[in-house]
Amino acid sequence: MQVVRLERIEQASQNVTARSLGLVACTRCHLAWPKEVATCGRCGHKLQSRDRKSLQRVWAFWLLGLMCYIPANLFPMLQTRTLIYRQEDTIVGGAIELIEYGSVAVALVILFASVAIPIGKFLAIAFLAISVQRPSSVSKSQRQLLYEVVDYIGRWSMIDIFVVAILSSLVQLNVLVTINPGTASLFFAMSVIFTMISAHSFDSRMIWDAQEVDKESAKDE
């Protein structure tokens, strides 16, 4: 087995993939199996060379995330009720108000965390999902980097939800001041979760598969 593998590595020059060697790596315990093996003998996970439905999942969750992102921006994020007034702020509305009050930095943080990042994530995931099916001018390594960034940064979008959760749990002074999470907070959290799942569903190996497809097609031509 060792010999075979080494031989195959040598044969495959620089761009030898497990797949091209007829191997499938278990996505759970990373043990490689011949592609005929259906289940990982070590951990029992189902072996699959490429998740063909990965892109479908990406798009499905992406769509869900986007759907949730719309009410997340339309509905109020925070409900501030004091003795004499009641205020409901949407994410963007609150940020604009902060700018009007002069807290530009805070507003920028909010805009960055709650608007720029989620929208960037939507765009990035959509781009990645499209780029694996269509030829792309962006190099594979850049796309891989983009994917990693998206995957990493996704969880930070939850900072908004944390702020809302902390505020609403701390500021409960009965009639004087009460802060409650608005409807949007739920949708925003759902949106973040769904985009994270979406990003997670993306099989980054497809970025590199596409290259081979490109090459093969180039060869065919």
Partner 1 sequence: MNDAPPVDFEDRKASFFHNLSVVWVIPMLALVMALVVAWQTYSARGPIITIEFESGAGIAPRETELRFRDVTVGVVEDISFGEGLKSVIAKVRVDQEVAPYIDSGARFWTVTPEFSASGVTGLDTVFTGVFIEGSWDGEIGAARDSFQGLSTAPLYQPGEGGLQIALRSIPGGELSADTPILYRGIQIGRVGPARISPEGNFAIAEAVIYEPHGRLVTPTTRFWDTSGFSFSIGASGAELNFSSVASLVAGGITFDTFVSGGEPVGDGSVFEVFASEADARSSVFNASEVDLLEMRVVFDENVSGLAVGAPVEFKGLRIGSVDSVTGLVDPDLYGDSRVRLSVVVGLQPARLGLQGDVSPEAALAFLGDRVRDGLRARLASGNIFTGGLKVELLDVLDAPPAELIIEDGAFPTLPTTQSAVTDRSATVEGVFSRVNDLPIEELLQSAIDFVQSAGNLITSDEVRGAPQELSALIGDIRSMVSSDTVQEIPQTLNAALLRLDGILLQIEEEQAVARVLSAIDAAAEAAGTVGTSVAGVPQLVEELVSVAANAATVPLTEFTDQVTEILSSADALISAPATQDLPASLAGALDELNRTLAELREGGAVTNVNATLASTRDAADAIALSARDLPQLVDRITEVFDEASATIAGYNRGDVLSRDAQAALRDISAASEAITALVRMLERNPSALIRGR
32 interacts with partner 1 by CB under 8 A: no
| Contacts (Cβ under 8 Å, ≥6 apart) of 92 | 73, 111, 115
Residue of 22, 34, 41, 44 interacting with partner 1 (CB under 8 A): 22
33 interacts with partner 1 by CB under 8 A: no
19 interacts with partner 1 by CB under 8 A: yes
4 interacts with partner 1 by CB under 8 A: no
Among the listed residues 154, 91, 169, 90, the one whose alpha carbon sits nearest the alpha carbon of residue 122: 154
Residue of 1, 3, 83, 218 interacting with partner 1 (CB under 8 A): 83
* Lookup result for tokens 């997340």: 72
- Distance, in Å, from the CA atom of 42 to the CA atom of 29, rounded to the nearest integer, reads 8
CB of residue 20 vs partner 1: minimum separation in angstroms?
A: 8
Site for partner 1 in 179-218 (CB under 8 A): 201
Q: Which stretch binds partner 1 (CB under 8 A): 37-45, 59-67, 92-100, 115-123?
A: 59-67
Residue pair 195/60 in contact (Cβ under 8 Å)? The answer is no
CB of residue 110 vs partner 1: minimum separation in angstroms?
A: 23
69 interacts with partner 1 by CB under 8 A: no
Q: Which two tokens stand for residue 159?
A: 């900072």
Query: What H or E segment, with its residue span, contains residue 33?
Result: strand 32-34
Q: Which stretch binds partner 1 (CB under 8 A): 55-63, 121-129, 141-149, 153-161?
A: 55-63
Which residues sit opposite 88 in a β-bridge?
79
Q: Which two tokens stand for residue 92?
A: 């963007």
Q: Which two tokens stand for residue 43?
A: 């951990």
64 interacts with partner 1 by CB under 8 A: yes
CB of residue 133 vs partner 1: minimum separation in angstroms?
A: 12
- Distance, in Å, from the CA atom of 167 to the CA atom of 110, rounded to the nearest integer, reads 15
Per this entry, what is the length of the chain?
Answer: 221
Total residues in contact with partner 1, by rule CB under 8 A: 18
63 interacts with partner 1 by CB under 8 A: yes
Query: What H or E segment, with its residue span, contains residue 72?
Result: helix 54-74
Binding stretches for partner 1 (CB under 8 A):
19-20, 22, 52-53, 56-57, 60-61, 63-64, 67-68, 83-86, 201
